[in-house]
């Protein structure tokens, strides 16, 4: 399982080499991985059905309660299968879509990394690992949206997507930590199986708000929906994979995952219903009023995400059944439609629906597939989308609260969606032939197989719904619900209320479609004026605000006078330390100088003399050299008190510091006396103050021992546990090796930072 | 910044190999006696800094053979590689593994992930300081 999750990362590393070998067939070659993963995940189905869920454990950082445990149940398997199944065809598709692109290898590296992160996200059992994978999907998504990095618009959209999702991610982290505090565990399986009433806990409201902030931004709920249409700047395979079928559903996944634990609270269900319904209607309306085929699809994705959220909010067994069915149906048809949109763009040279028309003669296969997928989108029989929509209506009609208003909203959205389906399937392929920039011809096989398989799957699922139901959907519904659910999916339910509603929305939707050309310009005008007050305008205002505040506080705090930085740092640090010392400990000095030796006095005097000289001298070199003397004096002290390792280190570090300082000194201008006497006395006062506080703290530290000293443990166990007699080294490389690892990473980053400063400076000088 | 004093040149040529050997000695014995990767790395760095003062940045780059930045990343890779055995054994990260190889004469060669980790620290420290020094000197020239 670990290998299954991480294989994407591993393969990503090998992509550049593979690209050289396989050339233009790289898409096909890479597709083997998700294809075999699909088989692997499918092979887990029987075990999951038998046991309800599987927990596969790998310890990672057990000391921090962080594990790489994987939780496999119906819900995570549905997601994993969607990711691997759709991923297979997306990779094949990308190979054709981006054939000959100079950054093709880079594209696949990112796609595979994304896929692996997504697997990790939906399979993680530990909240911390889940969050790490969550952020990884945000980052890979950022890189993929900005894939055409020379395009200003793409960069801007990429940043916007990143800011919105990562800001939400931050809230999510807080929410997950609160959740762990509430339930006492970081393990999802433990949280889900505990029967604690989380909604009565004091942190419940805060946790729900934080978690929803994360999932709503990720899954593009109103008012954070604006980043998703902009993300369409990404190449189409990315939109098809990340921004319709997988990444944007991560938020939905997490909500579904936590639904059994958090779903009892009213806040949870009402927030989900409210925001979900608002998102659904907004998305459907904006989809209908757009003209770019990718924007249309993006907005209809927002509509679908809203619907899913709303269904989770309704939370009845029927609603959760509808949730899982709609999730699968949507992934199938939206993935297919996006790939069709890419094919249209690729073959006609435009994304604008208004100039497309009559393409069925030039692209007959594409036209058939598009119609099939669009039928599922519109929710017409005999496709799986129809079953999902019938369930949707039925569950809303039986919703415990707000049934009427939700149903009306849903009918409006469904009506708009019928129009949208017409826009993507009828408008481009039928009617008068349009005037496209490129002469259209049929898309290559690699670009058709994906949408074809997905649409046919939707058709098969529609005709024989009991097959996927028995295989997986029922288990998945059970894991969203927290308890097993009896379902009975069927294409035909007889003439009932849901069917009537479907017919009504279909009729109204066809009417809308017929008048789309007339409605378009007034709708565009309304949208333009609404956009000025929309959330996206708010986003830009907010970003501008951040820049202004950043500039303001930089002017105040970081005005470029290094001395001032030091002064503030030292004064604040020692002011606070001194205050704590006074209030917590008080000052009681008992100095006993009886057993001090004369050479200790000698070293102390040397230190004082060196410090005084280095701060009063007018020669830089002299100052640096006397700092070195100071350091050597400290080293001498270490050696006197038998700490040879520290002594050696101190000596070496001092030597190298002096050398580095001398190297830097050459770059500085002549010594000048720029500060006024007042400033110098102020600095002196702060320096003396800091020195006194530090001395008092050290003296106090000798007095007080809050905890039992750990050094005896090290002394006893260093040789037996770590096979080393040098305790300092054993601590560094064995007992506290993780700290050391962190330190050498910090060291390296510091080196790279200094390097870039030196290099940048050098480049500036080379310019005239 | 290249000096032309004969004494420094000659001294550097003699002292540098000694310093380097001493640094390896410190690195290898570090687990039992004073020393270790950090100190060893510092000694090695001072050897190369001495050489750089005598013969200049370009010559130092030449005898280092690798870019100091690569040394830095090699160090990090070594340190990370030392976590792999524990990972494969399913133990907590950075659990030490020891292998004792018998040598002729009733002695044992103690190899361990700890040593690999220490070599990583050594390389990272050396790489960091040489990155500073060489680039500072080059920006001088």
Query: Which of A214, A320, A213, A205 lies closest to A265, judged by CA?
Result: A205
Please give the DSSP secondary-structure letter assigned to residue A430: S
pLDDT: is A610 or A470 the higher one? A610
Given an 8 Å threshold on Cβ–Cβ distance, is B128 in contact with A750? yes
Contacts of A737 in chain B (CB under 8 A): 94, 96, 114, 117
* A738 vs B93, B121, B131: nearest CB: B93
pLDDT: is B104 or A111 the higher one? A111
Contact A158, A110 (CB under 8 A): no
Is residue A76's pLDDT more than 50?
yes
Given an 8 Å threshold on Cβ–Cβ distance, is B140 in contact with A667? yes
Contact A330, A304 (CB under 8 A): yes
Please give the DSSP secondary-structure letter assigned to residue A444: P
Contacts of A734 in chain B (CB under 8 A): 94, 96, 114
If DSSP states are collapsed to H, E and C, what string results for B6-53?
A: HHHHHHHHHHHHHHHHHHHHHHHHCCCCCCCHHHHHHHHHHHHHHHHH
Q: Model confidence at A766, in pLDDT bands (50, 70, 90)?
A: low
Given an 8 Å threshold on Cβ–Cβ distance, is A723 in contact with B98? yes
Assigned CATH for A573-706: 1.20.120
Contacts of B36 in chain A (CB under 8 A): 645, 726, 728-729, 732-733
Helices (H), A124-151: 127-145
Residue of B nearest to A664 (CA): B136
- Give the contacts of A639 (CB within 8 A, at least 6 positions apart): A647
Q: Model confidence at B2, in pLDDT bands (50, 70, 90)?
A: low
Mean pLDDT of A451-476: 85
Rounded Cα–Cα distance for residues A331 and A244 (Å):
7
The two tokens of residue A148 are 């055409």
Residue of B nearest to A667 (CA): B140
Is residue B30's pLDDT more than 90?
no
Given an 8 Å threshold on Cβ–Cβ distance, is B69 in contact with A663? no
For residue A223, cis peptide bond before it (omega within 30 degrees of 0): yes
Given an 8 Å threshold on Cβ–Cβ distance, is B139 in contact with A737? no
User: Residue B86: CA atoms inside 13 Å, Cβ hemisphere, count?
Assistant: 24
Residue of B nearest to A653 (CA): B42
* B124 vs A649, A653, A747: nearest CB: A747
Percent of chain A with pLDDT over 70: 98
Tell me which H or E stretch contains B100: strand B98-103
Chain pair A-B, CB pairs under 8 angstroms? 145
Q: What are the residue ranges spanned by the domains of chain A?
A: 1-264, 317-514, 517-559, 573-706
- Give the contacts of A20 (CB within 8 A, at least 6 positions apart): none
Contact B123, B75 (CB under 8 A): yes
Is residue A486's pLDDT more than 90?
no
Length of chain B (residues): 141
Is residue B17's pLDDT more than 90?
yes
What local confidence, expressed as pLDDT, does residue A356 receive? 82
- CB neighbours of residue A271 within 10 Å: 18
Given an 8 Å threshold on Cβ–Cβ distance, is B128 in contact with A59? no
Contacts of B73 in chain A (CB under 8 A): 748
Rounded Cα–Cα distance for residues A653 and A227 (Å):
50
Distance from CA of A745 to the nearest CA of B (A): 7
What local confidence, expressed as pLDDT, does residue A768 receive? 46
Distance from CA of A540 to the nearest CA of B (A): 39
Average pLDDT across chain A, whole number? 86
- Mark residue A392 as left, alpha or beta (left: phi above 0; alpha: psi -120 to 50; beta: remaining): alpha
Given an 8 Å threshold on Cβ–Cβ distance, is B124 in contact with A725? no
* B133 vs A60, A660, A759: nearest CB: A660
Contacts of A724 in chain B (CB under 8 A): 31-32, 114
Given an 8 Å threshold on Cβ–Cβ distance, is B38 in contact with A649? yes
What local confidence, expressed as pLDDT, does residue A761 receive? 63
Q: What is the pLDDT of residues A266-283, one digit of tens each?
A: 889 899 999 999 999 999
The two tokens of residue A638 are 């270490």
Please identify which residue in the block is written with the tokens 């040879």.
Answer: A644
Rounded Cα–Cα distance for residues A702 and A448 (Å):
76
Is residue A75's pLDDT more than 80?
yes
Rounded Cα–Cα distance for residues A530 and A512 (Å):
21
Query: Could you give the dihedral angle defined by the CA atoms of residues A49, A319, A278 and A209, in that order, rounded to the nearest 10 degrees?
Result: -60
Contacts of A751 in chain B (CB under 8 A): 69, 72, 127-128, 131-132
Query: Could you give the dihedral angle defined by the CA atoms of residues A729, A731, A737 and A739, in that order, rounded to the nearest 10 degrees?
Result: -110
- Give the contacts of A432 (CB within 8 A, at least 6 positions apart): A357, A358
Contacts of B76 in chain A (CB under 8 A): 744-745, 748
* A734 vs B49, B96, B139: nearest CB: B96
Q: What is the pLDDT of residues A332-357, one digit of tens each?
A: 999 899 999 888 888 888 888 888 88
Q: Is the pTM of this model over 0.95?
A: no
Is residue A219's pLDDT more than 80?
yes
Given an 8 Å threshold on Cβ–Cβ distance, is A729 in contact with B73? no
Q: Report ipTM for this prediction.
A: 0.88
Render the burial of B90-114: b for 16+ CB within 10 Å, e for the rest: eebbbebbeeeeeeeeeeeebebbb
Given an 8 Å threshold on Cβ–Cβ distance, is B137 in contact with A762? no
The two tokens of residue B33 are 């006696």
Q: Model confidence at B43, in pLDDT bands (50, 70, 90)?
A: very high
Given an 8 Å threshold on Cβ–Cβ distance, is A644 in contact with B72? no
At A222 the three-state DSSP class reads coil
What local confidence, expressed as pLDDT, does residue A703 receive? 74
Given an 8 Å threshold on Cβ–Cβ distance, is B38 in contact with A732? yes
Given an 8 Å threshold on Cβ–Cβ distance, is B35 in contact with A645? yes
Contact A299, A280 (CB under 8 A): no
Is residue A554's pLDDT more than 50?
yes
Mean pLDDT of A584-593: 74
Q: Model confidence at A401, in pLDDT bands (50, 70, 90)?
A: confident
Given an 8 Å threshold on Cβ–Cβ distance, is B76 in contact with A755? no
Contact A354, A284 (CB under 8 A): no
Percent of chain A with pLDDT over 90: 24
* B124 vs A60, A726, A748: nearest CB: A748
Given an 8 Å threshold on Cβ–Cβ distance, is A723 in contact with B46? no
Tell me which H or E stretch contains A56: strand A53-56
End-to-end CA distance of chain A: 58
Q: Model confidence at B141, in pLDDT bands (50, 70, 90)?
A: low
The two tokens of residue A743 are 């330190």
Query: Which of A653, A626, A651, A652 lies closest to A636, judged by CA?
Result: A651
Q: Model confidence at A763, in pLDDT bands (50, 70, 90)?
A: low
Rounded Cα–Cα distance for residues A123 and A645 (Å):
47
What local confidence, expressed as pLDDT, does residue A692 receive? 92
Distance from CA of A130 to the nearest CA of B (A): 19
Given an 8 Å threshold on Cβ–Cβ distance, is B127 in contact with A62? no
Percent of chain B with pLDDT over 70: 96
What local confidence, expressed as pLDDT, does residue A514 receive? 82
What local confidence, expressed as pLDDT, does residue A762 receive? 54
Q: At what angle do helices A644-665 and A620-640 cross, to 10 degrees?
A: 170
Q: What is the pLDDT of residues A147-201, one digit of tens each?
A: 988 888 888 889 999 999 999 999 999 999 999 998 888 888 888 887 777 788 8
Distance from CA of B122 to the nearest CA of A (A): 10
State the burial class of residue A107 (Cβ atoms within 10 Å of its Cβ: 0-12, 13-18, 19+): buried
Distances (CA, A) of B13 to A320, A506, B17, B56, B66: 78, 89, 7, 13, 20
At A619 the three-state DSSP class reads coil
Distance of CA A184 to the CA centre of its chain: 25
Q: What is the DSSP string of B56-92?
A: -HHHHHHHH-S-HHHHHHHHHHHHHHTTHHHHHTTPP
Please give the DSSP secondary-structure letter assigned to residue A93: H
Contact B77, A745 (CB under 8 A): no
Given an 8 Å threshold on Cβ–Cβ distance, is A740 in contact with B121? yes
Q: Model confidence at A383, in pLDDT bands (50, 70, 90)?
A: confident
Is residue A504's pLDDT more than 50?
yes
What local confidence, expressed as pLDDT, does residue A424 receive? 85
Contacts of A62 in chain B (CB under 8 A): 92
Is residue B137's pLDDT more than 90?
no
For residue A103, cis peptide bond before it (omega within 30 degrees of 0): no
Contacts of A754 in chain B (CB under 8 A): 131-132, 135
Poorest-pLDDT segment among A506-510, A602-606, A672-676: A672-676
Contact A176, A131 (CB under 8 A): yes
Given an 8 Å threshold on Cβ–Cβ distance, is B110 in contact with A723? yes
What local confidence, expressed as pLDDT, does residue A264 receive? 83
């Amino acid at each position: 399982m670990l290998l299954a999750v991480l294989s994407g990362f591993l393969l990503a590393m090998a992509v550049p080499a593979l690209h050289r070998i396989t050339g233009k067939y790289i898409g096909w070659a890479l597709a083997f991985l998700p294809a075999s993963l699909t088989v692997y995940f499918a092979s887990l189905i029987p075990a999951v059905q038998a046991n309800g869920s599987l927990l596969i454990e790998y310890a990672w950082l057990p000391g921090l309660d962080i594990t790489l445990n994987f939780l496999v149940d119906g819900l995570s398997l549905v997601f994993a299968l969607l990711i691997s199944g759709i991923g297979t065809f997306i990779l094949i598709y990308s190979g054709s879509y981006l054939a000959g692109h100079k950054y093709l290898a880079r594209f696949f590296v990112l796609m595979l990394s994304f896929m692996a992160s997504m697997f990790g996200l939906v399979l993680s059992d530990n909240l911390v690992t889940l969050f790490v994978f969550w952020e990884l999907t945000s980052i890979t998504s950022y890189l993929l949206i900005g894939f055409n990095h020379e395009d200003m618009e793409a960069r801007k959209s990429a940043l916007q997507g990143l800011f919105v999702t990562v800001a939400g991610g931050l809230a999510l982290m807080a929410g997950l930590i609160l959740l762990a505090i509430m339930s006492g565990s970081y393990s999802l399986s433990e949280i889900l199986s505990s029967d604690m009433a989380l909604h009565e806990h004091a942190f419940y409201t805060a946790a729900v708000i934080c978690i929803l902030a994360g999932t709503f931004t990720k899954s593009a709920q109103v008012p954070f929906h604006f980043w998703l249409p902009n993300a369409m700047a990404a190449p189409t395979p990315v939109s098809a994979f990340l921004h319709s079928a997988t990444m944007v559903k991560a938020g939905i996944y997490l909500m579904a995952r936590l639904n059994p634990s958090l779903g009892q609270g009213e806040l949870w269900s009402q927030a989900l219903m409210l925001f979900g319904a608002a998102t659904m209607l907004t998305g459907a309306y904006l989809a209908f009023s757009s003209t770019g085929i990718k924007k249309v699809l993006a907005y209809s994705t927002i509509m679908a995400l809203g619907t899913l959220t709303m269904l989770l909010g309704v939370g009845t067994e029927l609603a959760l059944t509808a949730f899982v069915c709609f999730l699968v149906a949507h992934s199938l048809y939206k993935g297919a439609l996006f790939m069709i949109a890419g094919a249209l763009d690729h073959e006609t040279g435009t994304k604008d629906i208004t100039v497309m028309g009559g393409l069925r003669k030039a692209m007959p296969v594409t036209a058939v597939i598009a119609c099939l997928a669009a039928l599922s989108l519109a929710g017409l029989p005999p496709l799986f989308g129809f079953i999902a929509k019938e369930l949707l209506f039925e569950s809303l009609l039986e919703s415990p609260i707000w049934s009427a208003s939700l149903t009306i909203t849903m009918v409006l959205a469904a009506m708009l969606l019928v129009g949208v389906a017409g826009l993507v399937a009828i408008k481009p392929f039928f009617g008068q032939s349009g005037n496209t920039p490129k002469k259209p011809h049929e898309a290559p096989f690699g670009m058709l197989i994906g949408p074809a398989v997905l649409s046919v799957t939707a058709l098969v699922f529609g005709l024989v719904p009991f097959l996927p139901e028995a295989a997986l959907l029922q288990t998945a519904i059970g894991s969203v619900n927290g308890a097993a659910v009896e379902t009975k999916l069927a294409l035909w339910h007889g003439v009932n209320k849901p069917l009537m509603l479907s017919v009504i929305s279909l009729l109204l939707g066809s009417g809308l479609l017929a008048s789309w050309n007339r409605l378009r310009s007034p709708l565009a005008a309304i949208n333009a004026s609404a956009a000025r007050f929309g959330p996206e305008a708010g986003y830009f205002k907010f970003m501008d605000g951040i820049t202004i505040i950043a500039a303001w506080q930089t002017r105040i705090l970081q005005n470029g006078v290094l001395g001032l930085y030091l002064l503030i740092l030292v004064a604040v640090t020692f002011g606070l330390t001194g205050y704590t010392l006074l209030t917590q400990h008080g000052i009681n000095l008992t100095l006993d100088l009886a057993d001090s030796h004369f050479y200790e006095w000698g070293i102390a005097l040397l230190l004082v003399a060196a410090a005084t000289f280095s701060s009063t001298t007018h020669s830089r070199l002299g100052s640096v050299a006397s700092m070195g003397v100071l350091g050597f004096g400290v080293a001498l002290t270490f050696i006197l008190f038998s700490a040879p390792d520290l002594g050696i280190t101190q000596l070496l570090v001092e030597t190298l510091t002096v050398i580095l300082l001398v190297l830097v000194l050459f770059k500085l201008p002549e010594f000048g006396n720029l500060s006024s006497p007042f400033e110098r006395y102020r600095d002196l006062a702060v320096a003396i103050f800091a020195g006194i506080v530090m001395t008092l703290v050290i003296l106090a530290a000798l007095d007080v021992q809050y905890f039992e000293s750990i050094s005896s443990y090290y002394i006893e166990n260093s040789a037996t546990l770590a096979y080393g007699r040098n305790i300092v080294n054993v601590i560094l490389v064995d007992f506290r090796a993780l700290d050391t690892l962190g330190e050498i990473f910090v060291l390296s980053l510091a080196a790279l930072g200094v390097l870039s400063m030196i290099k940048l400076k050098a480049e500036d000088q080379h310019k005239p | 910044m290249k000096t032309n004093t004969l004494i420094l040149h000659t001294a550097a040529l003699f002292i540098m190999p000694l310093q380097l050997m001493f640094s390896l000695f410190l690195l290898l014995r570090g687990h039992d006696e004073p020393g270790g990767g950090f100190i060893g790395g510092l000694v090695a760095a001072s050897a190369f800094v001495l050489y750089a003062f005598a013969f200049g940045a370009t010559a130092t780059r030449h005898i280092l053979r690798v870019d100091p930045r690569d040394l830095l990343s090699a160090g990090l890779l070594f340190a990370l590689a030392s976590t792999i055995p524990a990972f494969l054994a399913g133990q907590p990260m950075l659990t030490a593994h020891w292998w004792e190889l018998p040598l002729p004469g009733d002695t044992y060669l103690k190899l361990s992930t700890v040593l690999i980790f220490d070599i990583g620290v050594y390389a990272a420290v050396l790489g960091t300081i040489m990155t500073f020094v060489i680039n500072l000197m080059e920006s001088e020239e």
